[in-house]
Structure 1
Amino acid sequence: MSKGHVSRRALLGLAAVAGTASLAGCAGDSGKEEDPPSKPSAEPGRAWDHLRLTEGWDSEYVSLAATSREDIWALGVRGLSSDNPARMRLFLDHWDGRKWREHELPDELPPGDGHFGLAAAGRGDGVWLVARSKEGELHAHRWDGDAWRALPPTAAGKPARPDFSGADIPLAAAESDLLWLVVDGEVRHWSGSGWQAPALTFTATDLAVIPSSDGGTPKVWAVGRTAPECEDGECYPQPASARWGDGGWSPVEMPAYRFPDPVPPEASAGLDAVVADDDRLWALGRHDFNHGEAEDEPEAETILLTGDGTGWSKSKLPRLNRAVATRTTVTDGRGGLLLDHGRHLTADGKLHRVAWPPEVPGPAEGGSPSPGGRRGKQQMNWNVACRVPGTTTILAAGAVLAPNGSAGTTPTRATVVRLELPGG
């Protein structure tokens, strides 16, 4: 395998949420919203538990995929404490229902610029692993149960920025031979025989796929933000989405967002993430502006849209008093959402607090608290989450952080955690 620099994953963060309204009572065409849900309740049974902890304190998981409870994949990086990027290396762990094993990586995997992604290739069909080289090429590989199968590389449009703090590549798969991914605002599609990049009328940020239950055409959506031409000195990007069909993208009509006049400087509305559960979709984003340039500033807002894939309705998230990491927001399999790692919004509009995983013994050196120590010392870096298909089991991956290490470092220990929702 190649040993190259892997930058830490940069989460897509949304600013603190403003406003209170129920997801279950999402707005219809009239724009009417239901009463807000109750405050988060601390309910026993909604708590993360460690499913996998690596040996040592020098690693972190950066991507995650699962086809079943007996087929879980976690991509990580070791050597984070090294000042020499050449000492950092990727590793891939696999759970087969009995034990965790380190799995081989593709021989042709490029060193990359810190951009990697995993996606389940379908129930029992292994996983896709995509890496972006420093030159901007995308290298996709699929594990078919016996070996890694490489696709022809595809150019990503422009070389990677050498000092960019890398994020995972948004990608989704349907069956074993169909793949979609987002890079540089474009959606690339592997059709089974070649790469395609059908034109979109907006800048893409994320996508969602619902495989067909009968082997037919999967349902695919892309979301992002428009980039309209400036008119009269004003540009006001808006949320955008499209649905895949007949070899191309069809725009889906979107609600508009606009601050009251006078509009604050550099106002913009757009979507950062989309998640799907059966035929229901949720899209999250931000309506914001450049703060500090106006005396009377309006209140920015988090965007939450719900829909069936043919149209969207406005809703609002409950107040969380902190940022929402959209890359760790997933469906719960029962009509609700896990809002990043800490809040479970059920289909009836109630908000429940999800407890952190238990603390673990700290490194031999570094002053990390022992299990049961006061919360606020040992922390978690949440990088990615996914739901096990066909279940209400949610997985998340990242690292345990033990501050106050030697020489002021923060030792990290890669972990996969599991949330079994009550009644699941």
Structure 2
Amino acid sequence: MARRTALAGALTALTLVLTGCGTGAGGSDDAPERAKGSTPPEGAPTGWRLDHVGDQDGELTDLAALGPDDLWAVGFDKRNGEATGHHLLRDTGDGWRRQALPEALADAPYPPRLDAVGPDALWAVGAGAEQGDPPSIAQWRDGRWSTVTAPPDGDLLDLAAFGTDDVTVLQDPRLPDQDDGEGNITTDDRSQVAHWDGSRWTTTLLPTAAAALDGTSGDDLWAVGHRSKGPGIGGDGQELTQTAALHYDGTRWHTVDTPLRRFADPVPPEAGAALGTVLAVAPDEVYAFGRHSFNHGEMEDEPADEQLRLRWDGKRWRDLPAQDGECGSRTPLLVDGDTGTLYDGHWYQAADGPCYKLKRPRLPTGGEVRKGARQQLWLAETAAVPGTDRIVAVGHLSVVQSGNPFSRPVALRASR
């Protein structure tokens, strides 16, 4: 299955602005532990517990949970604030142990992303050194690493896997600009999907730009992003983009209408809407999240940005009803089966329960940690461990103090 977090990818500049990327989605400092008056219901997770703390500066950047005794993470060390190399960690039931990257990724410029592609198989995908370079892919299967043929040129945006012979990647193919014949040059920002059947890639150019991919099976996939043509573009509304959703039904990709956006008059400059996250729970239960924004600072009495929260019910995309509290305005990081939903900032909502904040661990005072130091826990990836009651996460714990600030890579767990 595809991961359930808000994914970071090499998005277009427009999508980065409209979806509000650049903030730590899983970050939280020493703010009050939970909303006033809310208490975790019985059986729900109450807080994070540290499973691993690195012994030097660095961060963990991604995570894959193959099974109860097969967890993988990837990250990098830091020296004087600079990244000095990346590596794997693996937990087979007796603690996290450091491992070298497979040969295919040994020279990758950035830590690879990890994806479980089956109960006993893992993909590690590394971005190319230059924009448009094909990714490097290594597969862990039957106790060893092997190299997987890279898809056609294009920056990797997202990946959805349902088996070693059923993997789909979303790419930015970096298409050349277009001339409309009248001297007007427009950017061709359409995205591309490539499907791996175990031996070769088959590519399809999508009609719009997409930023995220998810699905319930290889025959039920969704890609969401934005479009710059069609209904709701230009005119009185002056919208540069509208949200876009595309569905694959096992035969072809097709566009599915989403609600149109328009700011009230006076319309702010360079307005546009885009989706940046999609979470597929079931064929008739899919969620998409994004933002309706504009170029701030060019008018008085600016309207507020609009956070977009959509749900597919099997027939159409609709706006989710407004909710009170923190969970009503945040982006989900993990849809925890029928148990609940984890949101950015460590907020959690059990099914039919209240919204509350998970407790966060702290490094003990002493040694490098000075009394009164402020500690911030940032999550890079979360996952539900198959066959267990555990949620796991990786990221880093930042210690903010005068004279000697530092961060430690961490792996965490929560039980429900």
Counterpart of 1:379 in structure 2 is: 376
CA distance in structure 2 between the aligned counterparts of 1:402 and 1:9, rounded to whole angstroms: 27
**1:327-350 Cα distance to aligned partner (Å, 9 max, x none):** x611021174211242223443x4
Separation in structure 2 between the aligned mates of residue 356 and residue 314 of structure 1, nearest angstrom: 31
- Structure 2 residue aligned with 1:205, among 207, 211, 217? 211
Among 395, 399, 408, the residue aligned to 2:396: 399
CA contact (8 A) 1:383 1:397 kept: yes
TM-superposed CA distance for 1:197, in Å, is 2.6
What is the correspondence of 1:123-138 to structure 2 with a 5 Å cutoff? 123=119, 125-135=120-130, 136-138=133-135
The Cα of 1:49 is off from its aligned counterpart by: 2.5
Distance 1:223 1:358, change over 3 A: same
Q: Tell me if 1:111 matches 2:107.
A: yes
Rounded to whole Å, the distance in 2 between the matches of 1:395 and 1:322 is 20
Q: Report how far residue 392 of structure 1 moved.
A: 5.4
Extract structure 1 runs of 4+ deviating beyond 6 A.
8-12, 321-325
SS across alignment from 1:297: coil
SS in 2 for 1:102: strand
- Equivalent in the alignment of 2:85: 89
Match of 1:245 among 245, 249, 262: 249
Distance 1:156 1:391, change over 3 A: farther
Does the CA contact (< 8 Å) of 1:368 and 1:405 recur in 2?
A: no
Q: 1:186 to 1:138 in 2, by over 3 A?
A: same
**Offset of 1:207 from its aligned partner?**
0.9
Q: Which residue of 2 aligns with 1:190?
A: 196
**Contact 2:9 2:157 survives alignment (8 Å):** no
Residue 227 of structure 1: aligned partner? 228
1:170 aligns to what SS in structure 2? Answer: strand
Residue type of the partner of 2:73? A
Does the 8 Å contact 2:239/2:262 carry over to 1?
no
Of 83, 87, 96, the match for 1:100: 96
User: Are the equivalent residues in 2 in contact too, given 1:325–1:340 (CA < 8 A)?
Assistant: yes
Instruction: Name the structure 1 match of 2:273.
Output: 269
Amino acid across the alignment from 1:152: T
Report the CA distance shift for 1:15/1:255 in structure 2 as closer, same or farther (over 3 A). Answer: farther
Amino acid corresponding to residue 76 of structure 2 in structure 1: V
Residue 245 of structure 1 deviates from its aligned partner by 3.1
Describe the shift of the 1:105–1:317 C-alpha distance in structure 2 as closer, same or farther (beyond 3 A). Answer: farther
Per the alignment, do residues 368 and 210 of structure 1 end up closer, same or farther by CA in structure 2, a change over 3 Å counting? Answer: farther
1:329 aligns with 2:339: no
- Please state which structure has a larger fraction of its residues in strand: 2
Instruction: Report the CA distance shift for 1:289/1:256 in structure 2 as closer, same or farther (over 3 A).
Output: same
CA shift, 1:43, in A, is 2.8
Rounded Cα–Cα distance in structure 1 between residues aligned with 2:389 and 2:292:
31
- Report whether the alignment pairs 1:296 with 2:293: no
**5+ residue gaps, structure 1:** 1-7, 17-37, 159-167, 212-216
C-alpha separation in 2, matches of 1:278 and 1:232: 37
Change over 3 Å in CA distance of 1:261–1:389 after alignment to 2: farther
Cα distance, 1:314 vs. partner? 0.8
Q: Which runs of 5+ in 2 are unaligned?
A: 1-7, 11-15, 24-34, 173-190
Contact residue 76 and residue 111 of structure 2 kept, 8 A:
no
SS at match of 1:378: strand
Q: Does 1:257 align with 2:261?
A: yes
**Partner SS for 2:207:** coil
Q: Residue type of the partner of 1:181?
A: V
Normalised to the residue count of structure 2, the TM-score between the two structures is 0.76
**How far apart in 2 are the matches of 1:378 and 1:323?**
26
Q: Structure 1 residue 249: deviation in Å?
A: 1.3
2:412 is equivalent to residue 417 of structure 1: yes
Aligned to 1:314: 319
Q: Is the 8 A contact 1:381 1:399 kept in 2?
A: yes
Quote the offset at 1:129 in angstroms: 0.7
Residue by residue, what CA displacement relative to the aligned partner does 1:184-238 show, whole Å, maximum 9, x if unpaired? Answer: 3433332322223311121111111324xxxxx5422111111227755944311
Question: What TM-score do the two structures reach when normalised by structure 1?
Answer: 0.75
Aligned to 2:374, what secondary structure does the other structure show?
coil
**CA positional deviation for 1:114:** 2.9
Asked if 2 retains the 8 angstrom alpha-carbon contact of 1:385 and 1:396, the reply is yes
Q: CA deviation at 1:97?
A: 2.7
The CA deviation at 1:418 is 1.7
Q: Distance in 2 between matches of 1:391 and 1:220?
A: 26
Provide the residue aligned with 1:165 in structure 2.
Answer: none
Query: Kindly tell me: are residues 353 and 413 of structure 1, through their superposed partners in 2, closer, same or farther at Cα, counting changes over 3 Å?
Result: same
Q: 1:285 aligns with which of 290, 294, 305?
A: 290
- Mapped contact 1:40–1:343 kept (Cα < 8 A): no
Determine which of 329, 342, 349 is the counterpart of 2:346.
Answer: 342
**Which residue identity does 2:164 align to in structure 1?**
S
User: Once superposed, what is the RMSD of the aligned Cα atoms?
Assistant: 3.3
SS in 2 for 1:198: strand
Decide whether the 8 Å contact of 2:70 with 2:91 is kept in 1.
yes
Q: In structure 1, how many angstroms separate the alpha carbons of the residues matched to 2:312 and 2:62?
A: 27
Equivalent-residue separation in structure 2 for 1:116 and 1:197 (angstroms): 22
Distance 1:188 1:368 in 2: 50
SS in 2 for 1:358: coil
Classify 1:390/1:219 alpha carbon distance in 2 versus 1 (closer, same or farther; 3 Å).
farther
Question: Quick one: distance in 2 between partners of 1:81 and 1:363?
Answer: 21
Q: CA deviation at 1:320?
A: 5.5
> Compared with structure 1, are the counterparts of its residues 155 and 198 closer, same or farther at alpha carbon in structure 2 (3 Å cutoff)?
closer
Q: For 1:141-181, what per-residue CA distance to the aligned partner results, in whole angstroms no more than 9, with x for missing partners?
A: 210032112112234437xxxxxxxxx95322111222223
- Correspondence 1:355 to 2:351: no
